[in-house]
Amino acid sequence: SQHSGRQDLAKAYYEEAESAAREYGISDQWLHIIEGNLGNLALNRHDYSEASVRFERALAAARKRDLPYSVANALLDLGTTDLARHEYEQAVVWFRECLPICESLEIAEFISWVLEGVAGISVFRGDAVRGARLLGVAKAIQDQAGIDGTYYPVALELRERTTRAAQKLIGEAEFTAAWAAGRELGLGEAIALAKSALD
């Protein structure tokens, strides 16, 4: 398809940029961005093992240069990748580190995706009410920030998966009520709810 053709072209350009950055000795400055982009292309293809390798390289490069925003981004992507492949306990590790960074930098967009990830973990552990509340507040944050999420397709697939699993556990009416209650949560309450779910 035309879309996968564009993805292949983007991948080729990023890989070329990566080798050029290494050749000119400036890879330290760009590596976290290039690896993160290659990771997201792999994630969109559902190639989770390549995505993980790329995001871990992005994380290492961002840590080395002490770039908290980029560290948070890589942690979020690693958590999302592990959730997508049902590695829930490893996702907990990434999200647990990611959330306080997002909170201190006040990155609403990242917080919303972490909340959705933690919702998935909560539902997997059998707490569908908490999961539904977290999905509700995440959507409220995204609506307020004007985020439609189409740039993060795997996260949208995970939202659907979490929603279906939660509805199966508690029924549609209870899910809807918990989701609506979640939309009313303040940001601080939502973060506290997510942190307690990651304990």
Report whether pLDDT(174) > 90: yes
Does residue 70 register a pLDDT over 80?
yes
Angle between helices 68-84 and 48-64 in degrees, nearest 10: 160
Query: Residue 32 burial by CB count (10 A; 0-12/13-18/19+): exposed, middle or buried?
Result: buried
What dihedral do alpha carbons 115, 118, 177, 185 form, nearest 10°? -40
Residue 57 pLDDT more than 60?
yes
pTM for the model stands at: 0.87
More confident call, 6 vs 58:
58
pLDDT digits (tens, 9 = 90+) for 116-170: 999 999 999 999 999 999 999 999 999 999 998 999 999 999 999 999 999 999 9
